[in-house]
Amino acid sequence: MDWMKQASISAQKSDAVFFYVFGLSVAFLLFITVLMIYFVIRYSRKRHPKAEQIEGHMGLEVLWTVIPLLLFLSIFYYGWTNYEYMRQAPRDAMEVKVTARQWAWSFQYPNGKQSKVLYAPLNKPMKLEVRTLDVIHGFFVPAFRLKIDAVPTHANTTWFQATRLGSYDIECTVICGVDHSLMLSKVIVVPEAAFKAWYFGGEDAPAPQPVAAPPQPVAPALHPAVALMTAKGCLACHSVDGKPMVGPTFKGLFGKREAVLVAGAARTVTVDDAYLRQAIQAPMKSVVRGYPPSMPVTPLAAKELDEIVGYLKTLK
């Protein structure tokens, strides 16, 4: 479905929770509806002339209090963790000032450049600081599953990382007067080179043209090593894109000089092939300073180890 296309990382995060709740909801609704219809037929006056006076059942009451509670809590937790990700911008995100007024949007980039539509480089994080000159507005990009209100005297922030080339609607979501529904703009996601050419190109640089998204595989073709590292649990604590997590990021790791603790003593090592292999197979031997000594040993076949190390070397 075209309108469900996910054009940012947060879109994937939001949709994952949506489909989790949606699945549970459909199951619950079907269960209740089928049960109601079954009871109405099975216990109709014709088939069941004498009602049984059942006052209740403590076990059942506990059951249908506790199970829904646990499910609701899981929804809360999943929704919260993915939301946290959606709200915390990476440090290297380009910061764009978004200004809302009745009834238009404008965007100002770090070097002072301004535009009426938002230009964004593909696969680069962009942080938005949203302000308003008059009443409350709502900044909404459906394709990014991104929304933040522009509230007077407050500077609200949000961020996104576009994962798909194309041109996407920006809509105002808080009633702000007669032309509320015309307070529209676009996010135009372009390749980084095209963005840079415009951004550094002085006042006369032509605006980058929206490139239609490649017609086929929208799902980024995952490197096989990424799939492997997801399966082995590596990516639960390490990122491949520079995002800070429990453990150090893999991005730019190879060739870097790291301060480590070896048996309590501080050392400096250069991350090379041998170090990577040791860090994976015997993680407690040397722990990068500033990170908890908590990485478990993960059994890997020799071929798998080669594949992961080979991939890590490519993450510049």
Partner 1 sequence: MSTHATTGQPSYLVDTGARKGLVAWLLSTDHKRIGLLYLGSMVFFFFVAVALGFVMRLVQLTSFEHLITAQTYNALFTLHGVIMVFLFVVPGLPAVFGNFFLPILIGAKDVAFPRLNLASWYFYMAGAAIVVIALFTGGGAPDTGWTFYVPFSLRTGTNVGLAVFGAFILGFSSMLTGINFITTIHRMRAPGMGWFRMPLFCWAVYSTAWIQILATPILAITLVLVILERAFGIGIFDPAKGGDPLLYEHLFWIYSHPAVYIMILPAMGAITEIIPTFAKRTIFGYKAIAFSSVAIAGVGSLVWAHHMFTSGLSQFAVMTFSLLTMIVAVPSAIKVFNWVSTLYKGSIDFQPPLLFALTFIFLFCIGGLTGVMLGALAVNVHVHDTYFVVGHFHYVMFGGTGFAFFAALLYWFPKMFGKMYSKKAIYASWFPLFIGFNMLYFTMLVLGVMGMPRRYFHHLPQFNTGHEIATVGSWFLVLGLLMFFGTLVHALFKGEKAEDNPWGGVTLEWTIPSPPPQENFEEIPTITTGPYHFPQESQG
Q: Which of residues 81-120 bind partner 1 (CB under 8 A)?
A: 82-84, 86-87
303 binds partner 1 (CB under 8 A): no
Least Å distance, CB 180 to partner 1, is: 6
- Closest approach, Cβ 11 to partner 1, in A, equals 8
At 210, list the tokens: 């929206």
Q: How far is the CB of 242 from partner 1 (least distance, A)?
A: 22
Among 23, 48, 273, 282, binds partner 1 (CB under 8 A): 48
Residue 138 tokens, joined: 């709502």
Stretch that binds partner 1, among 67-75, 119-127, 215-223, 239-247 (CB under 8 A): 67-75
Tell the smallest beta-carbon distance from residue 8 to partner 1 (Å): 11
- With contacts defined by CB under 8 A, name the span among 58-66, 191-199, 209-217, 302-310 that binds partner 1: 58-66
- What does the buried/exposed string (b/e) look like for 233-247 if buried means 16 or more CB atoms within 10 Å of the residue's CB? ebbeebbbeebeeeb
Show contacts with partner 1 in window 166-195 (CB under 8 A): 169, 171-182, 184
Say which residue the tokens 């429990």 belong to: 246
Residue environment code for 62-83, b if the CB has 16+ CB neighbours within 10 A, otherwise e: eeeeeeeeeeeeeeeeebeebe
Site size toward partner 1, by CB under 8 A? 81
Enumerate long-range contacts of 290-296, CB under 8 Å, 24 or more apart.
291/246, 291/247, 291/248, 292/246, 293/261, 294/246, 295/237, 295/247
Cα-flanking dihedrals φ and ψ of residue 38, to 5°? -60, -50
CB of 42 to partner 1, least distance (A): 9
| 206, amino acid identity | P
At closest approach, how far in Å is the CB of 79 from partner 1?
Answer: 3
Tokens of 32: 């209740």
Q: How far is the CB of 212 from partner 1 (least distance, A)?
A: 16
Say whether residue 18 binds partner 1 (CB under 8 A).
yes
User: Contact between 53 and partner 1 (CB under 8 A)?
Assistant: yes
Among 7, 8, 9, 10, binds partner 1 (CB under 8 A): 10
Interface residues for partner 1 in 224-253 (CB under 8 A)? Answer: none
Q: Which one of residues 110, 152, 224, 252 is an interface residue with partner 1 (CB under 8 A)?
A: 152
Structure tokens at 236: 């639960």
Do 188 and 210 meet the contact criterion of CB atoms below 8 Å apart?
yes
Nearer to partner 1, 46 or 316 (CB): 46
Cα gap 247→256, rounded to integer Å: 15
Which range binds partner 1 by CB under 8 A, 106-114, 135-143, 287-295, 307-315?
135-143
Strand 166-172 and strand 184-190: the pairing is: antiparallel
Please name the residue that has the structure tokens 């646990």: 70
Question: In whole angstroms, what is the distance from residue 127 CA to residue 150 CA?
Answer: 15
In the bound state with partner 1, the residue whose beta carbon lies nearer, of 6 and 286, is 6
Q: Is 302 in the site for partner 1 (CB under 8 A)?
A: no
- For residues 163 and 7, is the Cβ–Cβ distance under 8 A? yes
Q: Which is nearer to partner 1, 127 or 199 (CB)?
A: 127
Instruction: Kindly compute the dihedral angle of the four CA atoms of residues 24, 26, 28, 31, in this order, to the nearest 10 degrees.
Output: -140
Question: At its nearest, how many Å lie between partner 1 and the CB of residue 39?
Answer: 4
